[in-house]
A = this chain, B = another copy of it.
């Protein structure tokens, strides 16, 4: 597959955006900031738009998904939009019976757990994600057009971050059949059925890689791979049974000239491995101070993070001091993208997020 369009030739050029520059290793005067799950339930305008229909229907409604994607950009003045979607969207496009249960997460009608069930599922051609992904591409195209307009207003280019789930995190839901605390079903399968596990995760790599490439081809300027639950793995298992599939998942987007971010929660023990697959940005959990993360992964990667979402509920002066501490710690890295160390909690006060963006933008390196 030859990518039809490289970003430099796109109408909406985001190469000089703060986010893309920081991910390339530069240090813009203002540190770029965005929030994982910035588009979503913390915003009243989101709840107003999402008052009917399922989450999956919203993801596959181009007008709705693009509008939701834009809401936090307009409100918080963050430096990037992150596409409103869900990591299980490509599995839904392939016909798997999955829903996103409100307040709970992805739930499959039946878990895919035995070797026979896995053999059945992986017969589905991952290329169908592309063929059936018009709604996704359309939503991305609409969003980039809206971002181009917003960029005019703001006087600076605003990129769209596309994203996909990493094979392990997708498998954690698929094998369990839904969310779980310890992802034991998936983690057990690694040992109980190593061949079936490899088949499943390599298939998931192709599926999610297609989903990510679809977004980038349609106009996303940055690609983030979410391995949200990778921190549940013993480091040896991560390296042996998970990392190769994540490498494969990123292959389709490597053909495009977009920076790649890799993120997971509770990943202190595998941070070096996560950086090793060749990414431009590495998301760091709030449990590892950024300067400590630099000692682990070196200075060949930009760090993203790592404000503890719990601090969104702190008094103003505590919150500002914590943001300043993180910005100072981020100076140890080659460049820094400010973010939360995890997603926005649904009960976060939007005004606090807006104020946090202002705090970050007002800060200057000493």
Contacts and interface: CB of A to CB of B under 8 A. Distances in A.
A191 interface: yes
Interface residues of A, number: 35
A61 B186 CA distance: 37
A318 B191 contact: yes
A308 interface: yes
Nearest to A288: B269
A237 B286 CA distance: 11
A310 B269 CA distance: 18
B235 A310 contact: no
A192 interface: yes
A363 interface: no
A55 interface: no
Interface string A172-194: 00000001011010011111100
A309 B184 contact: yes
Contacts of A318: 191
Contact of A188 (B184, B190, B288, B310): B310
A184 B266 contact: no
A342 interface: yes
B182 A181 contact: no
Contacts of A233: 287
Number of this chain's copies in the assembly equals 2
A314 interface: yes
B231 A187 contact: no
A234 B286 contact: yes
B342 A182 contact: yes
Contacts of A179: 181
Interface in A255-305: 266, 268-269, 286-289
A313 B197 CA distance: 14
Contacts of A155: none
Contacts of A288: 269
Nearest to A312: B188
A342 B182 CA distance: 10
B266 A315 contact: no
B308 A234 contact: yes
A313 to B, nearest CB: 4
B310 A187 contact: yes
Given A182-B342, A233-B287, A188 B269 contact: no
13 contacts: A184-B345, A188-B312, A191-B311, A191-B313, A191-B314, A192-B314, A192-B315, A231-B266, A234-B308, A234-B310, A234-B341, A235-B289, A268-B269
Given A190-B310, A191-B313, 4 more contacts: A233-B287, A234-B310, A234-B341, A269-B287
